[in-house]
Amino acid sequence: MSDKKVFSINPDLFSFSNTTKKKRPTTKERIKMKPVKNQSKNDTLRKKSILKMIREHNSDRNRENFSKYEEKLKPTTKADDFEAAKNFFKQMPSTQNNKVNHTIKNYSNVSDNPIIKDNNIIPLNDMTNQDKINVPIDNDIMTLNKVELPIPKHGCLKNGILPTYRQYMNQTRKNNDDNIGGNVMKPTESFVKANAYKQMEKLKNLKKKKRRLQKRTIRRTYKTGKSRIRPRISVLLANKTMRSNVLEKEVLLKQVPIDEIKKYLNKHGFTKIGTSTPNDVLRKMYESALLICGEVMNYNAETLTYNFLNSDN
């Protein structure tokens, strides 16, 4: 084997590429603008002429309206009023609607005297043939009774001639107004009492009946001691009422005489007849025996036979 090593080199590795990898700048999109067109002179002249025509038309119309308004404000003469009245009376029959039959109200208190007719009054039909009419006016054409209204006693203005309603009501008034319906009879005392009695009877009948409360007796049984069913021992704790009852009973037992205490203890077998125990001990035994729930009895044969043999009864 030969000791020589041969290295082969690729000439393509040392060659440069003709293409470039450099990024060229991109062209930015610009805002597109429409080209400004030069307006022709003819177009501008047409617009101006149209605007001028519109303004002239508006001004003419305003003048006409103002002139009509001035004509309305002009004072009308008497002749124009007379002609307008004639035309109104001519057109009245045609424009008048057919009225429905209805009852006429009787206004009797307006005028009691009849209206006096005057032959000098010219009818409406002859008014059309005359231009100028001289109507003689008499004071005795119509006579009406003047209604004299009463002078008001109070007004509605402060610091005025008449007092206000509040001031008028606060003042002392001697002469009251007359009754409109005539004299009013004052109710008698008997009539007032009868009405009051009737009202009282009505009120008594209207009173609600009291509900009667039904009394109920509630009995509670307390089972104390060891339970046969459950592993439990129940104890009765005395409440306020029970404690008060016990205290009352103790006070009453202290008032019992000593002779009755000795008889009770001998009968139930607690002591022997003729015993020499002190009285305070006997009283304490008596109280404790009665305060225990139920009566306590001593069934000792010796004490019972001794008490039976030595008793008087």
Q: How do residues 29-86 score in pLDDT, each as one tens digit?
A: 778 788 777 666 667 777 888 888 888 888 888 888 878 766 666 555 555 667 777 7
How far apart are the two ends of the chain, measured CA to CA in Å? 161
| Average predicted confidence (pLDDT) for the chain | 76
Asked if residue 260 has pLDDT above 90, the reply is: yes
**pLDDT band per the 50, 70, 90 thresholds, residue 110:** very low
Q: What residues contact 224, with CB distance under 8 A and at least 6 apart?
A: 234, 235, 236
Task: Report the alpha-carbon distance of residue 128 to residue 86 in Å, rounded.
Answer: 7
Least confident of 22-36, 124-138, 267-281, 289-303: 124-138
Residue 292, token pair as written in the block: 């225990």
Task: Report the alpha-carbon distance of residue 144 to residue 186 in Å, rounded.
Answer: 41
% pLDDT > 90, the chain? 18
Task: Report the alpha-carbon distance of residue 129 to residue 119 in Å, rounded.
Answer: 19
Average pLDDT of the segment spanning 264-290: 91
Q: Are 234 and 225 in contact (CB under 8 A)?
A: yes
Asked if residue 232 has pLDDT above 90, the reply is: yes
Task: Report the alpha-carbon distance of residue 276 to residue 258 in Å, rounded.
Answer: 13
